[in-house]
Structure 1
Amino acid sequence: MGKHWKIPSGNGSVAVMGIVNVTPDSFSDGGQFLRPEAALEHGRALLADGADLLDLGAESTRPGFEPVTAEEEWARLSPVVGTLVAEGAVVSVDTTKAFVAKRALEAGAAVINDVWGFQADPEMASVVADSDAVAVLMHNRHEVDAALDLRADWRRFFDCSLELAERAGLEQERIVLDPGVGFGKTQAQNVEAVARLGELRAEYGLPVLLGVSRKSMFGHFLGRAASERLAGTLATNLYGVEQGAVILRVHDVREHVDALKMRQILKDVR
């Protein structure tokens, strides 16, 4: 159950994860790929642009999102996951629900990306542990607190998530952490989460995924609309790679593949 996918080592190796939102209400591209045919076409285009894997989500996680039932979420995902897996794609499914994760793993998904780090559904850790899949555990909060000590809160949250993973029998070799940029944080804390990403990696010795693509921090600091945030996203992601990120979750795959190639070419001159 679930395909095996090897997490990049970080020694110059960075995976580009293309975003496919099978939703009506995601902040950047909601509704564009709700139909299975549109989602499949978009996923194939991202793969052609160089995506190493695709992250499929069928419930928006933007602020103020409308929750959907597990059955509805899987109904949106099922025709897309199965087809892409059959075509040879490495598929990640962005969900907090064990029901959806189990169905996705049975359909061949290789990664479960949980924005609540196993803490939203008590069955999630066991479902992933019983597969060969990778788990992405993201830091999240229900409320924003401007006085928050981010590093201490990371420790509190991830200690809990990793304990749940250990109890379920999930090996640490299959775990990736996500600092949670844009989730339960002020804009200053979002910047801090990127700037201190290396500390998170050092704290736990686990690989890190960075997801900043087109997020509101670029609107706040740069005054750019969601469609105008590519430059900010690229700069932030390249900084994140320098801090140790090994997976970049992005909308604009081709541009990130090009940027990472040029970064490596320049590093190889040394």
Structure 2
Amino acid sequence: MTDLQALHDASHTMVMGVLNITEDSSSDGGLWLDPAKAAQHGRDMMAAGADIIDIGAESTRPGAKRVSEEDELARITGAVNALIPAGAVLSIDTTRASVAAAALDGGAQIINDVSGGTLDANLPHVIADHDCLYIVQHWRGWLAGSKGANPDQDTSVYEHGVLTDVHDELMRQVDGVLAAGVKPERIIIDPGLGFSKPSIEHNLPLLTGLETFRGTGYPVLIGQSRKRFISAMLTEAGAVGEDGPTMAQRDDVTAALSALSAEHGAWAVRVHDVAKSHAA
């Protein structure tokens, strides 16, 4: 059995490998829909140095459509059942209480909620009842054009500066989660790189200001992998060809940012290419 407190209080920055069982994720949609391939990819990431496998069955990219609850449940539970016997520490990337409950009952130890407790009011209560770790991400709603959101909606304006506003808004989300009965020693926070933060100018202050989030007393997850601002950084540096940044280039920058995050005390980095970030 995983020692949740030891996991929460890890003394080194862990690597969280991304397992997207989705049709339309921005960088690896469709690759791992087959249950056997998904399970093998999870085991491969463990062998490459992943401390945690983060399983998601619904894309959060701009323009993505919602997956049915039935499909999400089937994808998630299939992967959980395949990877728990392999000794994996599993995080479940979901905003649905029903999916979280099923995965936790199957042996998952962490719920990674990109909505930070705001999309499904029952989810924090499921967390409290199961006494698992809960990643609370900064969230301003679905990105423009996604899952019924207004395509003209702009959620990327930060009146007091991105670092101050993200910190304050995230702490209000944490307050809501605590009010639902989640223990503070089970909470991990995530500033939500790329979520309502499209540009380099939105995201770099959050990375360089990581100590601001660590100052809350909560461990901090950084999810920078293959985000659009990384492509923008490569383009701005003139390091890309006619077809834009390659996946290898994006993963190289991701690994460099993993090293930076580790240097500043991140709890974990969530990445697609585990080997590169593990080596960094």
TM over 0.5: yes
Report SS of the residue matched to 1:248.
strand
Are residues 1:169 and 2:181 paired? yes
Separation in 2 of the partners of 1:147 and 1:133? Answer: 32
Q: Is the 8 A contact 1:92 1:111 kept in 2?
A: yes
1:245 corresponds in structure 2 to 266
Q: Distance in 1 between matches of 2:247 and 2:217?
A: 33
**Sequence identity (%):** 39
CA distance in 2: counterparts of 1:227 and 1:217, whole angstroms = 15
Task: Return 5+ residue gaps in structure 1 as ranges.
Answer: 260-270
CA distance in 2, matches of 1:246, 1:195: 15
Q: 1:74 to 1:15 in 2, by over 3 A?
A: same
Show the 5 A alignment for 1:40-79: 40-79=39-78
Partner of 1:111: 110
Does the CA-based 8 Å contact 1:197-1:240 persist in structure 2? yes
Alignment partner of 2:53: what SS?
strand
- Structure 1 CA distance, aligned partners of 2:98 and 2:15? 27
- Report what 1:144 is aligned to: 155
Report deviation, 1:156: 3.7
Secondary structure at 1:245's aligned position in 2?
Answer: coil
* 1:91 match: 90
SS of the aligned residue for 2:112 comes to strand
Q: Which amino acid counterpart does residue 194 of structure 2 have in structure 1? A: G
What is the alpha-carbon distance in structure 2 between the residues aligned to residue 3 and residue 64 of structure 1?
A: 37
Residue number in structure 2 paired with 1:184 = 196
Summarize deviations over 1:52-108 as a string: whole Å, max 9, x none.
Answer: 110000000111111112222111111111121122211110001111101111111
TM-score (norm 1): 0.89
Aligned partner of 1:229 in structure 2 is 250
Give the aligned length: 256
Structure 2: segments with no counterpart, 5+ residues? 142-153, 236-244
* Aligned residue identity for 1:175: I
Q: Distance in 1 between matches of 2:18 and 2:168?
A: 28
C-alpha distance in 1 between matches for 2:14 and 2:70:
30
* Maintained 8 Å contact 1:110/1:132: no
Separation in 1, partners of 2:224, 2:41: 20
AA of the residue aligned to 1:254: A
CA contact (8 A) 1:10 1:244 kept: no
Report the equivalent of 1:209: 221
Q: Does 189-198 or 14-23 show the bigger shift?
A: 189-198
Alignment match, 1:39:
38
Moved more, 142-151 or 46-55: 142-151
Match of 2:267, SS state, is: strand
Structure 1 counterpart SS, 2:43 = helix
2:7 aligned with 1:7: yes
Task: For 1:62, give the aligned amino acid.
Answer: R
Q: What is the alpha-carbon distance in structure 2 between the residues aligned to residue 102 and residue 165 of structure 1?
A: 16
Output one character per residue of 1:145-164: Cα deviation in whole Å (capped at 9) or x when no partner. 34442233224422332222
Mapped partners of 1:69, 1:170: distance in 2: 27
The answer on whether the counterparts of 2:50 and 2:274 sit within 8 Å (CA) in structure 1 is: yes
The CA RMSD measured in Å over matched residues stands at 1.7
Q: Pairwise mapping of residues 124-163 of structure 1 onto structure 2 (< 5 A)?
A: 124-142=123-141, 143-148=154-159, 149-163=161-175
